[in-house]
Amino acid sequence: MPSVGDMPTQASPALGYSVAHQNVELDVDFGNQTLEGRTEIIIHPLHKDLKAIRLNFRQGQLKRLSINGKPATVKYVDPYRSLQLYGVHQHRKLSSRVDPLLSIPPEPEIIVIIPKSIRIEELDPLSLDGQTQIPLRAGGNIEESADIPIGSKPPDTLIARFTPITVEVEFSLDRPRDGIQFVGMDSFDRRYPHAFTTVSTITGDGCCLFPCIQDLSVRCTWDFCIRCPRTLRDVPRQKGNITGREITCDDQSMDMVVVCSGDMTDEIIDTNDLTKKVSSFSCNTPLSAQQIGFAIGPFEYVNLTQFRESDEDEQLGQNAIPVHAFCLPGRADEVRNTCFPLAKAVDFISLTYGSYPFSSYKLCFVDSAPWDTSPYAALSMCSNRLLFPDEILDPLYDSTRCLVHALASQWMGVNIIPKEPTDNWVTIGVAYYITDTFMKKLCGNNEFRFRLKQTSDKICDLDIARPSIWHIGALLKLDSSEYEFLSLKAPLVLYILERRLSKASGKATVSRIISRIFLNCRMGDIPNSALTTIFFQKLCERFGHVKLDAFFQQWVYGAGCPRFVATQRFNKKKLVVEMMIRQVQSEQLSARDLEKSTFMRDVKEELQNIYAGTLQHVFTGSMTIRIHEADGTPYEHIVEIKEAVTKFDIPYNTKYKRLKRNKRQRERAAASSGVDPNSEAQDDVLLYCLGEVLQSEEEILKWRLVEWTKEDEDRMGQESYEWIRMDADFEWICKMSLTMPGYMYLSQLQQDRDVVAQLEASNSRVGFMAAANCIQSIQYMAAQREHPLISTIFARTLMDSRYFHGIRTAAAHALVKHAKEDVDWIGLFHLETAFQELFCLPNSPMTRSNNFSDRSSYALQIAIPNAISKVRNRNGRCPMRVKRFLYEKLKFNDNSNNEFSDCYYVAALMRSIANALIGRQGKHSHQIQTRYDPGTRAPS
């Protein structure tokens, strides 16, 4: 218990007092699913005229309340009593009754009138109590000022000037509906009994389990005591519980474990009831009530620190952070398999960005969790949905990223909080930015850039008629589904900010900015550890040595993404490439098609009068354009985009003829000129070219491949450069349409080493995107009308194991468009032949025994049947040939010699069969197809 001299860590002028410390005692009754408790809150008045104390508490009953030991007048209105059942016609009345809960901070439910007998005296600075006051930094009420230099301490400090007040409350909750989840207590529930808190700091859900101040910025130190059953035998069972889990002798002896925020200080058996125990925890770091979480259950302990390498232990020494995991019985091996990267993640984040803010890190895996992860102080409540055994491959990336993000939230989200709801984008974006930085180190650059491009494309599709990421932060409490979009765009905005700042300063800047934020927080330079958008912008400007008003106005305070249409023409007389870039986002449709995933969000925004901001007609910034000239050398040119239409000339450097794109073209060219095709004297031999598979005459006949015609090759030879890359450095979240011949996109697909460029080249729509190399080629060709030549290109891409697995699976899905009667089902033939070649016995529909040791091959084994299931004839029905193919693959599936489980693969086959049986796929039937001519330019 803190002394009278303990200082508040947060002052709230609106409240008239600050909170120094709170002590909570809870008695958790599993049998009746009730909580009884007592809390003691020490507050410091900010003035002598304080008349009332306002607290938040819902869904419970107050038994006794006193101030400094004296009874007080209390007004308590439980808003849950207003949530009675009404008909649909009373929905507006019901909505008005919960409006106070949506305010930030929410309106108080408890108003305590301070008795007149309690006098608030000013402390004498010469007295013992007055001299022991320790000046602390000001709380979150201090406004950010442009006149305060970054890194300097706030000008004011808070000193307790008046005598503290102690508020004591005894309360109870009977079957609470929010804040805590009981599992395994119903008669039909066969799971192990356990309970855990369900409070979200992201959506603004307050702590409903005990009286407190429901404001994220009101932080204090805590003491927690939780009384619960000692063993599983002591957990009361529901009457008539016959179908529940049978408690064996081993189960009965299991200890009930309490996992809580903070450090455990004591655990004793209750002397008054030997079937109960009391666990005590202490949080010396100031925290808000929403950041306190706990779980009670028969948890097994897993020490994840053991996965730290010995040399890492020696390097970190005493700075090595212990990582503990708790899970329900029988799932310890799954926890070890799922969480083994976390010790490395803790060390990586600590060394790269800043030291961990708490003494240890705990994870607790529970059933029926409403979210995959819920971050609390030094604790993450995780769903058992994330766990998987070592014979399962599919959830590997998603589960790992989810757990690493929960860890990163300890730095940014728990320790450092947003000052205002509109600042949520900073904390959420930085947490995901740190997460993706570690995932890049763990999974490689290709995986990172491939997913980055996919995220960029998804944002461009979603960011239509939406509020800005700055405004969305204030809407999370109203609609938590907005969090998904915010978690996509906010970290990507930080990524393009990093690209622009690093180009200006020549250093990795955003990582240094994040490190400085953590350092300032440890030094006490950020009031109340509450981060603001203004502070973040000024810190970025200081490290990047550039003004960022335009960037933040467009990407943070503004909504939408730019749409570029670019044209290019080579001027042989001037030896320049004439280019024009137009921004056409203002010409796009202002509404999206209704989709089931976003329908409720659209309804809520319409009812609450929430609309997107004014569409930005011009986005500004630099764009890197890379021209791969005829000798294969890439030349980069930086262009400043300042207006809706930008025209410029790019000088041309090479006078050599254009390279031959593949082996057969080089052989034919050499034969026509009488030169040995293997001669080293040839000056146009490509040093790097993918897709050069299936080149023999036998393979061409077997696969029904089509080559370029002589006229097409002559047309290619007249070109002065190989291809053009727009936004080569990924500095934009945009869609890009570039008028460039199709064979140039093929060069980009085969010769560009960047996985993003390959994907763009193979999967671009008619208004295709540009953000980096490999992705653009796939995206462009996938937009064209069915043609045997394009199907040939995709088939060779699919069969070339040198491509990144994401490019190969994208090629498999792109082949669906070429599985049409007009081209003799050539795309379907290529998909079937590819699966036969990769996974079946020779000349037999029977598959070989599964071998999932190669993850790239496994991804194809799932992707090809999925693509085949989408093939349709003119009537919108799936051909019987497809159904038979999928049925045979499921029938002959053999996993007897595979070290990995095939459960996900079998499920994928069953989904593919279901897709085939459904028939017509009408989602994109409205899209206009354009007939493909290999030599023509793409439509703009």
% of residues, the chain, pLDDT over 70: 80
Q: What is the mean pLDDT of residues 743-763?
A: 83
Asked if pLDDT for residue 113 goes beyond 50, the answer is: yes
Q: What is the mean pLDDT of residues 265-293?
A: 95
State the pLDDT at residue 136.
Answer: 41
State the pLDDT at residue 681.
Answer: 46
Report the DSSP beta bridge partners of residue 297: 257
Nearest to 389 by CA among 338, 326, 341, 329: 338
Query: For residues 770 and 736, is the Cβ–Cβ distance under 8 A?
Result: yes
Query: For residues 233 and 247, is the Cβ–Cβ distance under 8 A?
Result: yes
State the pLDDT at residue 120.
Answer: 85
Asked if pLDDT for residue 283 goes beyond 90, the answer is: yes
Helix axis angle for 424-443 and 510-523, nearest 10°, is 120
pLDDT digits (tens, 9 = 90+) for 873-930: 999 999 999 999 999 999 999 999 999 999 999 999 999 999 999 876 544 443 333 3
State the pLDDT at residue 455.
Answer: 96
State the pLDDT at residue 869.
Answer: 96
Residue with tokens 């000001």: 138
Residues whose CB is less than 8 angstroms from the CB of residue 440 and which lie 6 or more positions away in sequence, other chains included? 447, 448
% of residues, the chain, pLDDT over 90: 59
Query: For residues 298 and 247, is the Cβ–Cβ distance under 8 A?
Result: no
Query: For residues 220 and 10, is the Cβ–Cβ distance under 8 A?
Result: yes
Asked if pLDDT for residue 286 goes beyond 60, the answer is: yes
Asked if pLDDT for residue 711 goes beyond 50, the answer is: yes
Which whole-number Å values give the CA distances from 853 to 210, 652, 806, 860, 900, in the listed order?
51, 48, 17, 13, 8
Report the DSSP beta bridge partners of residue 225: 25, 280
AA identity, residue 921:
Q
pLDDT digits (tens, 9 = 90+) for 393-423: 999 999 999 999 999 999 999 999 999 999 9
Q: What is the mean pLDDT of the chain?
A: 84
Q: How confident is the model at residue 673 (pLDDT cuts 50, 70, 90)?
A: low
Instruction: Give the tokens for residue 672.
Output: 């026509």
Q: Which of the residue ranges 419-428, 580-589, 804-813 would you say has the lowest mean pLDDT?
A: 580-589
- Alpha-carbon span 297 to 292, nearest angstrom: 17
Q: What is the mean pLDDT of residues 310-338?
A: 87
- Alpha-carbon span 476 to 427, nearest angstrom: 14
State the pLDDT at residue 186.
Answer: 86
pLDDT digits (tens, 9 = 90+) for 72-86: 999 998 888 776 666
Residue 193 preceded by cis peptide, ω within 30: no
pLDDT digits (tens, 9 = 90+) for 506-551: 777 899 999 999 999 999 899 999 999 999 999 999 999 999 999 9
Q: What is the 3-state secondary structure (H, E, C) of 618-663?
A: CCCEEEEEEEEECCCCEEEEEEEECCCEEEEEEECCCCCCCCCCCH
State the pLDDT at residue 207.
Answer: 66
pLDDT digits (tens, 9 = 90+) for 50-60: 999 999 998 99
Highest-confidence segment of 55-64, 116-125, 825-834: 825-834
| H-run or E-run covering 196 | strand 194-198
Count other Cβ atoms within 10 Å, centred on residue 880: 9
Q: What is the mean pLDDT of residues 650-671?
A: 62
Q: Which of the residue ranges 109-113, 278-282, 325-329 would you say has the lowest mean pLDDT?
A: 109-113
State the pLDDT at residue 309.
Answer: 79
Q: What is the mean pLDDT of residues 581-603?
A: 74
CA pseudo-torsion sign 387, 388, 389, 395: negative
